[in-house]
Chains A and B, each alone.
Chain A
Amino acid sequence: MFSNRYIFIYSTIIVAIVAVALTLIAVGLKPYQDNNIRIEKMQNILKSINVVATPKNAEALYKKYIVKTFTLNAQMKPVDVDAFSIDLAKEVKKTDTSARLYPVYIACLDNGDSSYIFPLRGQGLWGPVWGYVALKNDFNTVLGVMFDHKGETPGLGAEIATETFQAQFFGKQIFDEQGNYRSIRVLKGGAKPDDVHGVDGISGGTITSRGVDKMIFEGLKAYLPYINYRKKI
C-alpha cells in the first residue's frame, strides 16, 4: 500500500518528466513541421494555376512560376509585408476589418501571360474552408482554383477538394458584360450549361457549397477596388 504522500510525489514527478520530454520534442521538430506547412502552401498556390507540384519540387516550381507577391491593406494600398507569410486564418478573425491584410500572388505562366492569384478563406459546415482563385490577366476569367477544408464530410462537402469540382471553374467569369461584379456562384441544383458565373453545387454538401459560394463572393469582393483599378489600365 502506498501512502497519499507517495502518490502525490509520484504523480508530480511523472508529469514533470513527461512535460520536459514533450517540450523538447515539440521544439526540436517545429522547424520540420513549419517547412511542411510552407511547402503545402506553395503546392496549393501552384495548383490554382494548374501546376501540379510534389513536396519535392514545390519549392523550385514556386520560384519558377510565382514571379511577384505583394500585400494590400483594407484600402487596397500596398503595404510592406511579406505576402507569403500572412496567415489568412488570423486575418479573417480580425474584428477591425480595416486592419486586414490582403496578399496577392502574381504568376508568370508558360505561355508568357501573367495570372493573379487571390487567397480566400471562409466557413464550411464543420470548420474552415480555404482556397486560391487565379484570374487571367483580363482580371475577369478564372484560370484555375484550389479549395481545401479542415474537416468537411467525406464524400459530401469534402468533394470541394476534388479535381472534378474544381475543374468546373475553368473559364468562368466574375464580371458580366456590363462590368458588374457577379462572382462565381456555387449553385444548388446545378448551373445552366451556358452560365459563365455559376458552377454546380455538391449534392448532399449544400452547406459546404454555400460556404464556398460565400467565400468566393466575399473574398473577391474585398479585392474589387484593386481588380477594377487594374482592369482599367
Chain B
Amino acid sequence: MKEPLFSSRNIKLLSGPLNLNNPITVQILGICSALAVTVQMKPALVMALSVTVVTAFSNLIISSIRNTIPQRIRIIVQLVVVATLVIIVDQILKAFVYDVSKKLSVFVGLIITNCIVMGRLEAFAMAEKPWRSFLDGLGNGAGYGLILVAVSFLREFFGSGKIFGMQVVPRIMYENGYQDNGLMILPPMALITIGIIIWIQRSINRDLIDKS
C-alpha cells in the first residue's frame, strides 16, 4: 500500500528537528554560522531560508540518484550537488536582496561546509526515498532556522532595541536612562544565548539530559 504524503511518520520528519532532534541545540551542528549571522533578524531569516532550501533540495537530489552513486565517490558527488545549490542561492541573493547578501558575505558560501547539510545527506538521504528525504531536509533546515531566528530576535532586541530593523524600544526609555546592551551585538553573547536556549530546552525535556 502506498503511504500518504503526509503520514504521521512523515510529519515526524518535519517536527522532530524543531525540538527533540534539533540540529543546533541537540546535535550541536552548524554553530559557527549561528553565531555569526544572528546580530539582526533579517540576515538571520535569509540565512535560515537559504540553509533550508539547500538541505531540502540537496537531500531530494541525492536521494533521487542515491542508487546510481558509486560508493567510492559518494562524498564528492554530495559536495558537487551541495556546492551547486549554494552557488545558485548565493547568486539569487546577490541579484534580489543585495544588502542582505552583503551582510551574510562569506557565510552563504560556507553553507557548503555546514555540518547539517552533509550530515543529513550521509545519515538520511543516502538511504531513504526522495519525498521523505525532502521533508527531512525541510525539517532540519527549519530546526536550524528556528534557533537562528530566536537568537537573532534576542540579540537585535536587547542589542539594538530593534526588530527587523524597526525601532521597538521607545525613545522615552532611552531618555530615562535605558541603554542598549552592546555586548549582545558581539559573537560571545550568541554562544551564551544558544547555551541558555539549550539549558531551557533540557529542563523541559528531561530525556535529553546526558545520563552520565
Q: Which residues of A contact B (CB under 8 A)?
A: 2, 6-7, 10-11, 14-15, 18, 21-22, 25-26, 29, 32-33, 36-37, 40, 55, 151, 155
Contacts and interface: CB of A to CB of B under 8 A. Distances in A.
Interface of A: prevailing SS = helix
A116 to B, nearest CB: 28
Given A18-B80, A22-B88, A7 B70 contact: yes
Given A11-B76, A15-B80, A55-B98, A29 B91 contact: yes
B73 A55 contact: no
A29 B87 contact: no
A37 B71 CA distance: 43
B203 interface: no
A14 B68 CA distance: 11
A167 B20 CA distance: 50
Contacts of B72: 2, 7
A32 B96 contact: yes
A25 B88 contact: yes
B91 A14 contact: no
A2 B71 contact: yes
A26 B91 contact: yes
B98 A40 contact: yes
Interface string B90-101: 011011101100
B95 A14 contact: no
Given A29-B91, A32-B95, A32-B96, A18 B70 contact: no
B27 interface: no
Interface in B4-54: none
Contacts, number: 49
Contacts of A151: 105
Interface of B: prevailing SS = helix
Contact of A14 (B80, B88, B92, B105): B80
B95 A10 contact: no
B167 interface: no
Q: What 3 A-B pairs come out closest when comparing CB atoms?
A: A32-B95, A36-B98, A2-B70
B181 interface: no
B98 to A, nearest CB: 4
B14 to A, nearest CB: 28
B150 interface: no
Given A11-B73, A22-B88, 5 more contacts: A10-B69, A22-B87, A25-B88, A33-B91, A36-B98
A29 B76 contact: no
Interface string B75-91: 01100110010011001
A7 to B, nearest CB: 5
Nearest to A32: B95
A21 B80 CA distance: 12
A36 B186 CA distance: 29
A145 B126 CA distance: 55
B61 to A, nearest CB: 10
Contacts of B92: 29
Given A11-B76, A22-B87, A33 B94 contact: yes
A27 to B, nearest CB: 10
Contacts of A55: 98-99
A21 B76 contact: no
22 contacts: A2-B70, A2-B72, A10-B68, A11-B73, A14-B77, A14-B80, A18-B80, A18-B81, A21-B84, A22-B88, A26-B91, A29-B91, A29-B92, A29-B94, A29-B95, A32-B95, A32-B96, A33-B91, A33-B95, A36-B98, A37-B98, A151-B105
A158 to B, nearest CB: 12
B91 A25 contact: yes
Contacts of B81: 18
A170 B92 CA distance: 38
Contacts of A37: 98
A32 B91 CA distance: 10
Contacts of B69: 10
Contacts of B76: 11
Contacts of A2: 70-72
